[in-house]
Amino acid sequence: MAKNPNQKLKLLYLMQIFTKETDENHGLSMAEIIGRLEAVGISAERKSIYDDIALLREFGIDVVSRKTHTTEYYVGNRDFEYPELTLLVDAVQSSKFLTEKKSRALIEKLETLTSVHEARLLHKQVYVAGRVKMQNESIYYNVDAIQHALHEKKKIQFKYYDYDISKNKTARKGGDYYYASPAGLTYIDEYYYLITYSMKHSDFVNFRVDRMTDIEVLDEPADRIPRDLHFDLAEYCRRKFSMFGGEDMRVQLEFDKSLMNPIIDRFGKDVRVEQTGEQTARAYVAIAKSSVFFGWLTQFGSEIKIVSPLGLAEEYKVFLKKIVKLY
């Protein structure tokens, strides 16, 4: 009788059976394992399977045995624990920059990292439809192209668009290409932003990656950022508040001590803070003046105040009056 060609794949099939079908709550008996192998045309004796399990353990697969009314075998530790996969699934389905189609595709791939039993539990918690999602399917590949340009220190070209009142895409510059030198890529407030350096203006310009199309990495080397600009991506992002550029300013904010958490969340643990009263403190921060900064302040009412510079405090009052008129 000819030997089944699948016999040579016995160890691989056995590994697949364990990783796909077992977990801490779902084990397989030796009889069930033999049955699974027979289903793919592989005959096996108990002793040979014991030897195979020993090899899998030596390879790094955590095959655990436990005794109930019989002895069961299952995969214990995995690269990703179930709670970790739950966090990843939550992050993927809530990410605005991913389209609904791409979110579902990524979640399906995450489900393959655990048993079919736990994958079903993951799938039950998936809710993608109805969430605010990007419509630009190419963003996933835009990020990859930008990362490549950053690594190779090359310029890129791309087109950039806005939405008009009818929600139609409208290309900037009449559809002509932008040419830019990538300086950094960052993820802020659920959007990816490309930070570019312009040698012509000796300054940085930001672009929302989901509004970029037709990205191409060029052979031309990217412009080098002068050392005297002291570009630091983390510091730049802290100052630019959601990537809306504006005049850089040193600002003093007086706030109720109960709001220390949002101050640290926004400015980091290194922010300079001094106590000014029994319940108040003052923070010394660097910001980029913009409506986004003002918008952040409004959520705290009068509990965070601009005390310096006075001119900025007055501008904020004007901003608040405009907001009141809108409602």
Q: Report if residue 136 sits inside a domain.
A: no
Question: The whole model's pTM is what?
Answer: 0.62
pLDDT at residue 275 tops 70: yes
Q: Is 22 exposed, middle or buried (0-12, 13-18, 19+ CB in 10 A)?
A: buried
Same domain, 225 and 163: yes
Q: What is the extent of the structural domain holding 54?
A: 5-75
Q: Over range 166-186, report the average pLDDT.
A: 87
Binning pLDDT at 50, 70 and 90, where does residue 182 land? Answer: very high
Domain-embedded: residue 240: no
27 within some domain: yes
**Which of the listed residues 124, 155, 186 is the one where a domain comes to its end?**
124
Cα Rg, the chain, nearest whole Å: 28
CATH number at residue 224: 2.30.30
In this structure, the answer to whether residues 274 and 296 fall within a common structural domain is yes
* Whether residues 119 and 147 fall in one domain: no
| 153 lies in some domain | yes
Same domain, 320 and 254: yes
- pLDDT, residue 165, reads 56
**For 294-309, how does the pLDDT look when each residue is reduced to its tens digit (9 = 90+)?**
888 888 888 899 999 9
pLDDT digit string, tens, across residues 211-261: 889 999 999 999 999 888 888 888 887 777 655 667 788 999 999 888 888
Among residues 201, 283, 305, 199, the alpha carbon closest in space to that of 245 is found at 201
Residue 286 CA: distances (Å) to CA of 97, 201, 242, 249, 309? 28, 22, 14, 6, 12
CB 26 within 8 A of CB 74: yes
Average pLDDT over residues 160-179: 82
Structural domain includes residue 311: yes
Residue 128 has pLDDT above 70, yes or no: no
Please tell me the least confidently modeled range out of 199-203, 265-269, 312-316.
265-269
Structure-token pair, residue 161: 């668009």
pLDDT of residue 51: 95
Note the pLDDT of residue 222: 94
pLDDT grade for 1, boundaries at 50, 70 and 90: very low
| Gap between the terminal Cα atoms of the chain | 85
- Tens of pLDDT, residue by residue over 66-96, are 998 899 999 999 999 988 998 888 888 877 7
Banded pLDDT at 177 (limits 50, 70, 90) = very high
DSSP assignment of 47-89 = HHHHHHHHHHHHHT--EEEEESSSEEEEE---SS-HHHHHHHH
Interhelix angle 30-39/46-59, nearest 10 degrees: 90
Domain final residue pick, 230, 263, 295: 230
Q: Are residues 111 and 148 in the same domain?
A: no
Distance CA 180, CA 221 (A): 10
Same domain, 43 and 98: no
Q: Which residue has the tokens 């803070």?
A: 273
**278, part of any domain:** yes
Q: Which structure tokens are listed for 181?
A: 């030198």
- Tell me, what CATH number does 279's domain have? 3.30.70
The residue written with tokens 């040419």 in the block is: 179
DSSP secondary structure of 148-217? HHHHHTEEEEEEEEEE-TTS-EEEGGGGPPEEEEEEEEEEETTEEEEEEEETTTTEEEEEEGGGEEEEEE
Domain count, the chain: 4
H or E element in which residue 270 lies: none
Given this model, what pLDDT does residue 298 score? 86
Greater model confidence, 1 or 236: 236
| 28 within some domain | yes
Angle at 93 between CA 262 and CA 21, to 5 degrees: 125
Asked if 63 and 21 count as a contact pair (C-beta separation under 8 A), the reply is no
235 domain residue, yes or no: no
Higher pLDDT, 289 or 157: 157
* Residue 253: how many other CB atoms lie within 10 Å: 23
70 and 40 assigned to the same domain: yes
Burial of 70 (C-beta count, 10 Å sphere; 0-12/13-18/19+):
exposed
Convert 272-299 into a string of H (helix), E (strand) and C (coil).
EEEECCCCEEEEEEEEECCHHHHHHHHC
Give the model's pLDDT for residue 291. Answer: 77
* Mean pLDDT along residues 269-273: 83
Q: Are 155 and 222 within 8 A, CB to CB?
A: yes
For residue 26, give the CATH number of its domain: 1.10.10.10
- Note whether 220 and 257 are same-domain residues: no
Closest of 116, 117, 128, 115 to residue 89, by C-alpha = 128
Residues 154 and 220 in one domain: yes
262 pLDDT band (50/70/90 cuts)?
confident
pLDDT digits (tens, 9 = 90+) for 22-32: 999 999 999 99
Q: Which of 180, 200, 230 is the last residue of a domain?
A: 230
At residue 326, the pLDDT reads: 47
Position 148 confidence tier, pLDDT thresholds 50, 70, 90 = very high
